[in-house]
Amino acid sequence: MLRTSTAVGIGAGATAAVVVAALVQAAGDDPVIKAGLSLSVPAKYKALVEKAGDTCPEVTPNLLAALLTQESGFNPRARSPVGATGIAQFMPATWASHGIDGNSDGKKNVQDPQDAIPSAGRYLCDIADDVKDVPGDKQKNMLAAYNAGSGAVLKYGGVPPYKETRNYVRSITSMAKKPAGRKSASTDQATTALNAARKMLGKPYSWGGGTAGGPSTGICCSPKGRSGESVLGFDCSGLTLYAYAKAGITLPRTAAQQYAASEPVKPGHMKPGDLVFYGATTSTIHHVGIYVGGGWILNAPRPGAKVRYDPMDVMSDLVAVARPTSHPNKEI
């Protein structure tokens, strides 16, 4: 069984309404810093990530930070629908066999980051050794084993053909390779992006439509068979790609890739212009909109509809909010 990743910074099982309330009203208290890592990491976990990320050659601080971002958004109380727990989302049986007492207090507590983060680094190294003879990229095979189990990687001779696992590996490796020194969208850039998106209100939804230059015809076909080939407009990620291109930020094409190219935003820290993502987990993101404030987004919702304003809980699977980052002279 796949070990489903939990919602970043939100916690699994929450209804969309509760999630929206938490995002709009909650106040975060952990500063986020970037020194020494290409991913933002809460300050109190930075030293733990840097140390645990140096446990073996296959594990780096950036890779571990990306994994923890993907798994829980650094939420030590996160719990997935299948029972994975804590900041590193250990299943109970895995924790029983691989959890360590990282802070030497006599207890192995899966919800204590001082235990869970070192355990994640050690466990990654253990499974890297399990799959060391499997052909292909060693880090990708290791990440696939963390998500789907070493047995699946050994069985398929590499990353198994599971959609969740492949998205999981792709998302983490993409985050881990982000260049240091990138900057989150400024208030001026977010305003520019929002204004650009507002000018597209009323444009039709087109499956696969939208480029950095504006509306375009799309492709065939949506999961329900709707084609965008004859429709000039935007799909959800085409709209966000266009809006941020106007602000000088290049985003990749799909909603899942755009999440990987952005910095997760803690509850209570949302700003207009942030991107709002939907999916059962961050590995299965399928939709994105632009936060405008007050619990509302601007988005291209679905075939047959037009670019419009919607409440954040327009879909029941709101999973994360993130802020686009600049990648100077490099297209993602």
- The predicted pLDDT at position 270 comes to 92
Q: Are strands 216-217 and 232-233 parallel, antiparallel or unpaired?
A: antiparallel
pLDDT of residue 256: 86
User: Helices 113-130 and 43-52, interaxial angle, to 10°?
Assistant: 30
Reported confidence tier of residue 7, pLDDT bands at 50, 70, 90: very low
- Band of the pLDDT at 120, cuts 50, 70, 90? very high
Active site residues per annotation: 236, 287, 299
Instruction: State residue 320 phi and psi, 5-degree precision.
Output: -165, 160
* Local confidence band at 329 (pLDDT 50, 70, 90 cut-offs): very low
Report pLDDT digits (tens) over 152-171.
999 999 999 998 899 899 88
Say if residues 300 and 287 touch (Cβ distance below 8 Å): no
